[in-house]
Amino acid sequence: MNRTDFGDDFLWGVATAAAQIEGAANIGGKGPTIWDTFSKRPTKIRKGHKPDEACDFYHRYQGDIALVKTLGFKVFRFSIAWARIFPLGTGMPNKEGIAFYHRIIDECLRQDILPMITLYHWDLPEALSQLGGWTAFGINASFNEYVLFCAKEYGDKVKHWIVINEPFGFTSLGYMLGIHAPGASGVGNFFDAALHTAIAQADGAKILRAEVGQAVIGTAFSCSEIIPYTQSVQDHLAAKRMDTLMNRFFVEPVLGMGFPTADWDVLEKFAISHSTWRHQQRMTFDFDFIGLQNYFPLVVKYNAFIPVIQAWEVKARSRKVPHTAMGWEINADSFYRIIKQFAAYPSIRNIMITENGAAFHDKLVGHQVKDQERIEYFEKYLQAILRAKQEGINVTGYLAWTLMDNFEWAEGYQARFGLVYNDFKTQQRTIKESGYWWQKFLSK
């Protein structure tokens, strides 16, 4: 397998997110975000870690963008912290925050790296959360104001945009399960947040289309192949419900299909109470690319005790299959199959893998991190993409998660996903063996 097998136009990059790398939580006029607040609550984040300093990318961005270049990538995906632009989420913009992202973009362009902006990667301004966050009707107006501002400010220099990162990820973890910020729970909160997010992803795209000439607009969905644990009808139905929720729920409204309600009465009730025909129109947008982010398949079995979904995950560890340090199953065939599942929607024109990667128990020994498992992981997952491409599926790019070890949300700094090792005490960066593997792969 060679880089050239993927075609000359294939975009190779790394993906990052503001809250995970920037640090400088209280610097440069930034307002607090839900992650700043959430991390102050005891027990919410492993070992009490906080995003306050993260990788200090805020001050070290030049060197970090140089690392992107050194590794041979063309694309640097980063997100804008909404609260750096609007500290209170809306109203008065913050000059220092605005200037910071100009510096990032200019540095990318200077180093001949293509900047790709994610507008929302989970760090909602705390002030908006106080008003109900994504569950509140008013969130859409604030989001649109923020998107319009960014489009006008950066649209001359940046053409590649991702509106929202993993809508299912943050609405489920943050508003249904309480595991992520803002720590809300309950099905009602989830459905409210989901509707407003589905509207935001299309609204945001329409604003970009109107404001940014030659924009290449995408949005990024998490996806996981759902596999029934046994051949029983109950397990199959449980898997189907899980698939509807995790894979279909946010993409189908974008494609003009509305929420996928037909197969599940709970969703039908939600749709009747929440979304109208007008919403259906508003949630639709013809994206230039659909971003897919895959980390694991999910094996599920029926469980009557789990409210609403009545399905339960059978963990990779208990099935004794290969898995990462997160306990996520390593299964490149499943990656191939989920790409095919999304490519089967006739209106998806092309797919970009906007995140994929793995955490392992990396150790810095001397100046080396020997992460052979990660190299093997990438080799297998890239083969899966190639296979899909050779079958005619239009995959246009791959962004590895992630440039360097960073703040992995509720897992704190323990989970290391980087191609570059970060020592969080000294902020010393060390390229891992997998980073050198990429360098070699991309140089051929």
Q: CB 14 → ligand NOJ: shortest distance, Å?
A: 12
Lay out the site mask for ligand NOJ across 411-430 (x = CB under 6 A, - = otherwise).
Answer: ------x-------------
Q: Which two tokens stand for residue 393?
A: 């599926």
How far apart are the C-alpha atoms of 389 and 392, rounded to whole Å?
A: 5
Residue 209 or 315: the one with the smaller Cβ distance to ligand NOJ is 315
CB 371 within 8 A of CB 409: no
In angstroms, how far is the first alpha carbon of the chain from the final one? 11
Q: Quick one: which of 203, 355, 371, 405 contacts ligand NOJ (CB under 6 A)? A: 355
Active site (catalytic) residues:
166, 355
Q: Quick one: which of 270, 401, 421, 441 contacts ligand NOJ (CB under 6 A)? A: 401
Q: Which two tokens stand for residue 329?
A: 């199953």
CB 196 within 8 A of CB 137: yes
How far apart are the C-alpha atoms of 197 and 253, rounded to whole Å?
A: 11
Residue 77 or 429: the one with the smaller Cβ distance to ligand NOJ is 77
CB 405 within 8 A of CB 374: no
Lay out the site mask for ligand NOJ across 57-96 (x = CB under 6 A, - = otherwise).
Answer: ----------------------------------------
Q: CB 268 → ligand NOJ: shortest distance, Å?
A: 29
Q: Quick one: which of 11, 17, 83, 105 contacts ligand NOJ (CB under 6 A)? A: 17
Place of tokens 């989420």: 89
Residue 6 or 295: the one with the smaller Cβ distance to ligand NOJ is 295
What is the widest separation between alpha-carbon atoms in the chain?
Answer: 61
22 binds ligand NOJ (CB under 6 A): no
Lay out the site mask for ligand NOJ across 105-144 (x = CB under 6 A, - = otherwise).
Answer: ----------------------------------------
Residue 104 or 267: the one with the smaller Cβ distance to ligand NOJ is 104
Q: CB 224 → ligand NOJ: shortest distance, Å?
A: 11
Q: Quick one: which of 408, 412, 419, 421 contacts ligand NOJ (CB under 6 A)? A: 408
CB 387 within 8 A of CB 334: no
Place of tokens 């929440």: 274
Lay out the site mask for ligand NOJ across 166-185 (x = CB under 6 A, - = otherwise).
Answer: x-------------------
Q: Which two tokens stand for residue 48?
A: 């009490």
Residue 20 or 334: the one with the smaller Cβ distance to ligand NOJ is 20
Q: CB 165 → ligand NOJ: shortest distance, Å?
A: 5
Residue 126 or 408: the one with the smaller Cβ distance to ligand NOJ is 408
Beta strands in 3-74 (DSSP E): 11-15
How far apart are the C-alpha atoms of 156 and 168, rounded to whole Å?
A: 31
How far apart are the C-alpha atoms of 373 and 355, rounded to whole Å?
A: 18
Query: How does DSSP assign 237-262, residue by residue?
Result: HHHHHHHIIIIITTHHHHTTS-S--T
Q: CB 414 → ligand NOJ: shortest distance, Å?
A: 12
CB 300 within 8 A of CB 311: yes
Tally Cβ neighbours within 10 Å of residue 44. 18
Q: CB 293 → ligand NOJ: shortest distance, Å?
A: 6
What is the amino acid identity at position 158? V
Tally Cβ neighbours within 10 Å of residue 428. 11
Q: Residues 362 to 391: which contact ligand NOJ by CB under 6 A?
A: none
33 binds ligand NOJ (CB under 6 A): no
293 binds ligand NOJ (CB under 6 A): yes
Residue 17 or 245: the one with the smaller Cβ distance to ligand NOJ is 17
Residues that bind ligand NOJ (CB under 6 A): 17, 20, 165-166, 293, 355, 401, 408, 417
